[in-house]
Chain A
């Protein structure tokens, strides 16, 4: 187990190195830079030179790259080019807890709604409950969350005036963003759960459980669920990473001060250090989540030997 985790961490570090390198050079290949003068404002050339020098932008790209890696190795993401005297580390420290809180609630909601929805649908296959939940699921997958968020905002905040439109100051503020974030994962989890459950319920050991006199509820919630949940665990890895690190769109629409918002604005600003910092942070998060998921597999299913 220990050896496996070390192996995975090393593989993760290699992934991170490739990710950083590709992002770094791609970013620099895009025309323009953080201090490209806007058409209407003429900045004197000497001033521009000074600014470029201060941020180390006059060095050749490969020197910049090596310098960046040196700082990164010390856990330093550098300072933002756009927001004066704010380091990227500070941006993440401020934004991540906000994004993570909303994301975590959304994940819990998605699991608590999606799994029962999928199970019900599998057990009541072909009945109205199945139709209803599959309609919800199809709608959830096909409607993008920026459309949904605008619709919900209009309905609950503008027409009914029962929920606030932006910010995160009370529990009511969480309802709309969490709903929008959780909606498509709910749909996906429900569909995944349904097909997985339908498959598992056909297995011989379910018949064995029934033949032992196990209550049908136990057959479903104990014998079938533990087997059927494995695909959900797989999906959970990337989902956790995506939701915890913040949704760009949802954070923009609901004015949530999370890191997703910083990420989007950093790209249009060519804020090199923020783009890289966020990408590396996001990448590391996905790598870690995937390692955790793989360990979880082995915990759920003892047939999986992760040491090999």
Chain B
């Protein structure tokens, strides 16, 4: 059974200038024990779509979906109490910036024990035991003494470990990691990713990994969702997306990714232009303005997703039988 099912999710922010359509009708699912990567540049709607599911957006956001179910229950119909059960207990969340995600005025112990005490109804000493246990799981040395320390006494990487410890403390069914390594330096990034892979292997937790780094996804996820301008432009297994990418935006993402394996020095090719203004989204394909293969129809009509296999689909007019064949720009 599918753990998370999203059908036609739309998230709109009401601001003075109008309505920002941050997420424009996306549909996907996450299976049990599966890890899915959501890739896209800043402003593509990756984080907003996940925060929509958690209903953690500010008040000016309006969420609309045909279906939004977690473990068979409709999230949109949940009351505050059910939502709180979902938060922290069923779904754990790791945020981008570990420097600001922990409350500076409470000890690490307090903050880890909080969800444990709320959801598992454990006593203080039992919760403390569990907190030490999860700190050990995220490989923080001497957890007993660390419990009484404050966030400012931890380094960035250590804080992100604490955030992960909080997220996994109640054995969630789903772990949402919103760019968990973006704010960390490269060596720490690798450690955190290793840690997450280990945790994934040990438990039966599904993971949604939000990132703009395709490399991170390749090592962690079995499936990839590529988002652009609030829409899903391509979706498939990691193998399918990496070896047979269909959307020019995916090509662009891959070209802009450094390849460590290549001996020769090769310049990265950036994607020119900037993401579309979602206050007034373009009529046709959102990527058309930046696409080197854009055709006349691209600016007039939105492309319909075309399936290449059971798991692989992409939305691009180039896939239309009548479109001219173009040289795929992945750079072989």
Contacts and interface: CB of A to CB of B under 8 A. Distances in A.
Nearest to B87: A213
Contacts of A214: 84, 88, 114-115, 118
Contacts of B84: 213-215
B87 A211 contact: yes
A130 to B, nearest CB: 13
Contacts of B114: 209, 212, 214
Given A214-B114, A303-B152, A208 B95 contact: yes
Given A215-B84, A216-B80, A303-B152, A210 B105 contact: no
B85 interface: yes
Nearest to A226: B105
Contacts of A213: 84-89, 115, 118-119
Given A210-B56, A210-B87, A212-B166, A205 B118 contact: no
Majority-rule SS of A interface residues: helix
A125 B15 CA distance: 15
A212 B118 contact: yes
Interface residues of B, number: 28
B115 to A, nearest CB: 4
Contacts of B85: 213
A223 interface: yes
Interface stretch (B66-74, B96-104, B285-293): B96-104
Contacts of A301: 104-105
B118 A211 contact: no
A276 to B, nearest CB: 43
Interface in B39-56: 54, 56
Contacts of A209: 103, 114
A300 B56 contact: no
B127 interface: no
B163 interface: yes
A212 B115 CA distance: 6
A302 B118 contact: no
B154 to A, nearest CB: 12
Contacts of A203: 100
A7 interface: no
B103 A205 contact: yes
A204 B150 contact: no
A213 B91 CA distance: 10
B95 A204 contact: yes
Nearest to B98: A204
A161 interface: no
Interface in B103-138: 103-106, 114-115, 118-119
Contacts of A205: 100-104
A279 to B, nearest CB: 38
A226 B105 CA distance: 7
A82 B92 CA distance: 74
A143 B54 CA distance: 46
B36 interface: no
Contact of A227 (B105, B118, B166): B105
B100 A211 contact: no
A303 B97 CA distance: 19
Nearest to B86: A213
Contacts of A302: 105, 150, 152
Given A212-B87, A302-B150, A204 B101 contact: yes
Contacts of A211: 54, 56, 87-88, 92-93, 95
Nearest to A203: B100
A207 interface: yes
A235 to B, nearest CB: 19
Given A213-B89, A215-B84, A208 B103 contact: yes
A303 B103 CA distance: 12
A223 B114 CA distance: 11
A204 B104 CA distance: 11
Interface of A: 203-205, 207-216, 223, 226-227, 300-303
15 contacts: A204-B97, A204-B101, A207-B56, A208-B166, A211-B87, A212-B87, A212-B115, A213-B89, A214-B84, A214-B114, A214-B118, A216-B80, A226-B103, A302-B152, A303-B150
Given A211-B54, A216-B80, 15 more contacts: A203-B100, A204-B95, A208-B102, A208-B166, A211-B56, A211-B87, A212-B115, A212-B118, A213-B85, A213-B89, A215-B84, A227-B103, A227-B105, A300-B105, A302-B105
Q: Which 4 A-B residue pairs are closest in the complex by CB-CB distance? A: A213-B88, A213-B87, A212-B88, A204-B100
